[in-house]
Amino acid sequence: MSNDLGKLVLRLTLGILMLLHGIAKLSAGADGIVGMVASYGLPGVLGYLVYVGEVLAPLLLIVGLWTRPAALVVVINMVVAILLAHMGQLGQLGKSGGWALELQGFFLFTAVAVALLGGGGSAWAVGSTDPFARSNTAPWHYLWSLPMFKVPPVTAERLQLLLRAMPKAELHIHIEGSLEPELIFALAQRNGVSLPYASVEDLRHAYAFTNLQSFLDIYYAGASVLLHEQDFYDMARAYLARAAMDNVAHAEIFFDPQTHTARGVAMETVINGLHRACADARSELGISATLILCFLRHLSEASAFEALEQAQPLLDKIVGVGLDSSELGHPPEKFARVFARCRALGLHRVAHAGEEGPPAYIWSALDALKVERIDHGVQAMHDAALMQRLAQDRIPLTVCPLSNQKLCVFPDLKNHNLRQLLDAGLCATVNSDDPAYFGGYINENFTQVFAATAMTARHAYQLAFNSFEASFVSNADKRVWEHRLKETFERFVEHD
């Protein structure tokens, strides 16, 4: 609240004081400025742009519409004014001992501050509620989020190949959801576990889900075959081999330890098996992979704390924590204290929110859990202020199109809102969630959602770029993969 009030004061001060200069120029005319511009050998007519910088932009600042771009215009106006009229005073002090350009300096840097901060949510800010809400996002966020080169059009057929060939990161994959029915039966036999399904076909037949819970019931039953470190290794190694075929350069893998420790499996059995698979895949397949420990939200806060305590000696083998399982009725704030502890331990934080649950769950994942990414998040579309927050803070969404289709979040893939999320400037990514259950790995998610919603090569580039940007790897690794991405697109276009 006081933050918003501070921004409002700053915006109104800049707008009103600058507008007074504009009004003076309206009544005296812009001839002086036109002449000054012409004296530099430039078209004098450019001098009339002063009305944009000192009348139009201040009016936008006062009403709070397109606040950040308007402030940027004032910044440009002030830089031009200093270059044209005040360069001689740049290093001088005035009569009273202050900087000779303190007035210009105040205008310039106040405008820079407003451009950085935005207008502040307020009944006075049109931009906080109207369809122009996006304009409150820093303009350079849009520049930064745009592909670094112009992506030429690619035919629909070639686009499908490009989607498969482009390097990408997978940031939302539950390793237990990569257990194919064949491996479930092989592990059941190896470990003497009996399953309530007669055959692989019988199990596959049960994969007809109506919502998240109908899937989770079968998913936890499937995970019951995992007992020994080698089982966790085999599962993760199989996923990583499959992901490498889809040109996944980096995967951040979720695992649900509480579903295993509840059956008497030790935390170290789970983590050591998964970690060894990641290490081997890196040296044998060249794929990078890290682990994210997820707390089950249908269990208690105490159970989550217990899981964290068990994982404490193994924290060097995980990069972060997440929150998954049954969303409705289990709002994120239930785990605020656990996530605060994880934050203090230096762990990255993500949470499933807005898969089936309301936008309020996304707000509380951000504010109560302080997560850095939202898993799914597709329900954000119903809340304009939330969309603005996600765009402005560039909070990535790890979207899973086939999962959303199979769990009836959207009636059909053609109704999926991935394209709208991207076009609204959000840092969306494509992922597989539980590929063994939802009909496809990451490339299937890309190709099917692109075919269903007619997205373009530019969207493809943006999604792959976002996946690296949103990952928890070093900036150096991000740049290497982004460079490879650009090379792949250039190669494709050359041969188009």
Ligand X SMILES: Nc1ncnc2[nH]cnc12
The contact set with ligand X (CB under 6 A) reads 174, 177, 212, 219, 324-325, 352, 355, 403, 433-434
Instruction: Indicate whether 170 belongs to the interface with Zn ion (CB under 5 A).
Output: no
Q: Is 324 assigned to a binding site?
A: no
355 catalytic? Reply is: yes
Q: Is 21 assigned to a binding site?
A: no
* CA atoms 377, 380, 381, 384: torsion sign: negative
Q: Give me the 424-443 binding string for Zn ion, x by CB under 5 A, dash otherwise.
A: ---------x----------
From the list ligand X, Zn ion, none, partner contacted by residue 177 (C-beta under 5 to 8 A by kind): ligand X
Which residue, chain included where needed, has tokens 């390097």? 167
Q: Is 174 assigned to a binding site?
A: yes
Closest residue to ligand X in the complex (CB): 324
Report, in Å, the least distance between residue 352 CB and ligand X. 5
Report, in Å, the least distance between residue 274 CB and Zn ion. 17
Calculate the alpha carbon distances from 186 to 28, 181, 222 in Å.
87, 9, 12
CB-wise, 214 or 392, nearer to ligand X? Answer: 214
CB-wise, 66 or 254, nearer to ligand X? Answer: 254
Please list, in sequence order, all residues whose beta carbon lies within 8 angstroms of the beta carbon of residue 72, skipping any fewer than 6 positions away. Answer: 111, 115, 139
CB-wise, 256 or 469, nearer to Zn ion? Answer: 256
Between CA 200 and CA 383 the distance in angstroms is 42
Q: At what angle do helices 102-117 and 2-28 cross, to 10 degrees?
A: 130
CB-wise, 68 or 352, nearer to Zn ion? Answer: 352
Report, in Å, the least distance between residue 51 CB and ligand X. 54
Please tell me which residue in 176, 355, 356, 469 is annotated as part of the active site: 355
Instruction: Indicate whether 327 belongs to the interface with Zn ion (CB under 5 A).
Output: no
Q: Is 172 assigned to a binding site?
A: yes
Please list, in sequence order, all residues whose beta carbon lies within 8 angstroms of the beta carbon of residue 449, skipping any fewer than 6 positions away. Answer: 401, 402, 413, 416, 418, 430, 455
CB-wise, 431 or 466, nearer to ligand X? Answer: 431
Between CA 186 and CA 286 the distance in angstroms is 27
- What separation, in Å, do the N-terminal and C-terminal C-alpha atoms of the chain show? 53
| Count of beta carbons in the 10 Å neighbourhood of residue 40 | 10
299 close to 272: Cβ distance less than 8 angstroms: no
**Catalytic site positions:** 355
Write out the binding residues. 172, 174, 352, 433-434
Write out the binding residues for substrate. 434
Write out the binding residues for Zn(2+). 172, 174, 352, 433
